[in-house]
Amino acid sequence: MSSPLYRYGAAYAVNNQGIAVGWVEDMQTDARMPSIFMPDGSIVIIDPSEGVAGAINNEGKVVGSADGEAFIYDMNTTAIETFEAPQGAVEFAFSCISDNGIVIGFATYGMFTRLPFIYNPETDTAPVLLSSFLTENDIDATGLDGAAYKISSDGNYIGGFSNGPASGANGWAVKLGESEDPEDPEDAVEEYNAFAISCYPNPTQDMITFNSEKMIQSVEIFNLLGQKVIAQEVIDGSVQIAQLPAGVYMVKAITETGEMATLKVVKQ
């Protein structure tokens, strides 16, 4: 697919009707604009601002970002709805949409610092933090951060990745609704780490000790705003966190070979 109006382009998603979405770069302004690629070869520009269309569902709803704001574009009505970045965020983007219209995305607050959001137009007046949504539905999502990236077509499963550079970020998945074990709502949020690891005591008042199949060389500890509050070597399998205020923290454990795993720790 080519056009004399655009220099480059990329498609990021396609629906069952063969309609793809992504971006094209304008020949005159060099702006990468969110776009729709039709099966007949034609290109529809959703918004002339800098941005990208990240996903399309089988109902013709397209989501993405333009000029730092998230959007939902309805191909059936050509209407576009935009959403400003949450307070404190520098950018807001929708990344995927289910066939029943549930939208997910993320707000960016700084380099490698994001928080996942969810939006259901049928029940919500605005996008909400995914962690808040899960907590309201009796699912413990304390410390959930990063980007919500994909949602299943039925809207029941969400996948994403935690904060940090792509080479070291951990993936996570959420099953909406009841967890497999009704006595343990944490079953509904699962972290995918490179190796088996746990720590104790947790909660703790001063120190955590790692129980890992691999030797932990160093740690990086982040608060729920994504700010790094500790970066230090691990001594005898333990790390001191008495200096931290009470709260929930994400601990990134790093092995001698650079493998990473993330744990949620409660500091009392």
Round to whole Å and give the CA distance between 138 and 128: 16
CA 241 → CA 38, 78, 268, distances in Å? 55, 53, 10
Which three-class secondary structure string do you get for 145-172?
CCEEEEECCCCCEEEEECCCCCCCCCEE
Partners of residue 172 on adjacent β-strands: 160, 191
Q: Identify the domain containing residue 152 by its residue range.
A: 6-192
- 115 lies in the same domain as 234: no
At residue 184, the pLDDT reads 43
Round to whole Å and give the CA distance between 62 and 68: 16
Please name the residues in contact with 202: beta carbons below 8 A apart, sequence gap of 6 or more. 208, 263, 265, 266
- 178 lies in the same domain as 118: yes
- 96 lies in the same domain as 184: yes
- 257 lies in the same domain as 177: no
The yes-or-no verdict on residue 179 having pLDDT over 80 is no
In a domain, residue 1? The reply is no
- 55 lies in the same domain as 162: yes
More confident of the two residues 60 and 263: 60
In a domain, residue 227? The reply is yes
In the block, tokens 């000029």 appear at 67
Among candidate residues 149, 169, 192, the one where a domain is terminated:
192
Nearest to 60 by CA among 41, 49, 46, 42: 46
- 178 lies in the same domain as 59: yes
- 19 lies in the same domain as 99: yes
Round to whole Å and give the CA distance between 139 and 147: 18
Confidence of residue 181 (pLDDT cuts 50, 70, 90): very low
Q: Are 94 and 105 in contact (CB under 8 A)?
A: yes
- What is the radius of gyration, based on Cα positions, of the chain? 21
More confident of the two residues 196 and 174: 174
Round to whole Å and give the CA distance between 159 and 141: 14
Which domain CATH number covers 208? 2.60.40
Partners of residue 210 on adjacent β-strands: 199
The yes-or-no verdict on residue 188 having pLDDT over 80 is no
In a domain, residue 90? The reply is yes
In a domain, residue 49? The reply is yes
In a domain, residue 109? The reply is yes
Partners of residue 262 on adjacent β-strands: 252
- Give the total number of structural domains in the chain: 2
Partners of residue 107 on adjacent β-strands: 92, 115
Q: SS3 of 133, please?
A: helix
Q: Are 46 and 66 in contact (CB under 8 A)?
A: yes
Lowest mean pLDDT among 165-179, 192-206, 230-244: 165-179
Round to whole Å and give the CA distance between 82 and 187: 34
Among candidate residues 192, 213, 245, the one where a domain is terminated:
192
Q: What is the pLDDT of residues 160-169, one digit of tens each?
A: 988 876 556 6
- 214 lies in the same domain as 88: no
Q: What is the pLDDT of residues 39-81, one digit of tens each?
A: 998 999 999 999 999 999 999 999 999 999 999 999 999 999 9
Average pLDDT over residues 11-35: 91
Chain mean pLDDT for the chain: 85
- 65 lies in the same domain as 187: yes
- 172 lies in the same domain as 241: no
Average pLDDT over residues 253-261: 82
Lowest mean pLDDT among 55-64, 104-113, 176-185, 218-227: 176-185
- H or E element, residue 229: strand 228-233
Q: Are 118 and 133 in contact (CB under 8 A)?
A: yes
Among candidate residues 129, 160, 192, the one where a domain is terminated:
192
- 178 lies in the same domain as 211: no
> Which amino acid makes up residue 256?
E
Average pLDDT over residues 138-159: 86
- 120 lies in the same domain as 233: no
Q: What is the pLDDT of residues 82-131, one digit of tens each?
A: 999 998 899 999 999 999 999 999 999 877 788 999 999 988 889 999 98
Round to whole Å and give the CA distance between 92 and 68: 6
Q: SS3 of 258, please?
A: coil
In a domain, residue 110? The reply is yes
Which domain CATH number covers 16? 2.120.10.30
